[in-house]
Amino acid sequence: MRQYSRIMFRSLFRVKVSDRHSGKLIGYARDVCEDGLRLICDLPVEVGAQFGLSLRMRASDGAMSQVELNATCLWVRENPQSGHQELGLQLLQPGDDYVAFVERLRVDRGIPATPP
């Protein structure tokens, strides 16, 4: 059983995920939780690959939120309907900014926090 419940996004383009160092768009977050996220992208990725990522999202009040994190790929599969790659990413030491980002999403959506 998962330690944290996932926050899923109806719009695939809601949370942009970029390479933190180059700024190049990698893909979009399909869901997030306190210790990981599911990334949708076109890139072939191997299990065990590590990333420095930047997540950007416009909040309900119009303000732009951005957080940076480091993650490791735990699994990869191709979505048979879209042909995109789906990656399960585990965060390496999630920072306070990321935890606050997820907490804001939970509050905005009325989703109760999951105790650690």
pLDDT digits (tens, 9 = 90+) for 2-52: 455 666 666 555 789 999 999 999 999 988 888 889 999 998 889 999 999
Query: How many angstroms separate the CA atoms of 59 and 45, rounded?
Result: 29
Look up the pTM and report it. Answer: 0.79
Q: pLDDT tens digit string along 99-114?
A: 888 887 777 766 766 5
Higher pLDDT, 45 or 115: 45
The domains found in the chain, sorted by start residue, are 5-106 (2.40.10.220)
pLDDT, residue 109, reads 66
pLDDT digit string (tens) for 51-89?
A: 999 999 877 677 788 899 999 999 999 988 888 999 999
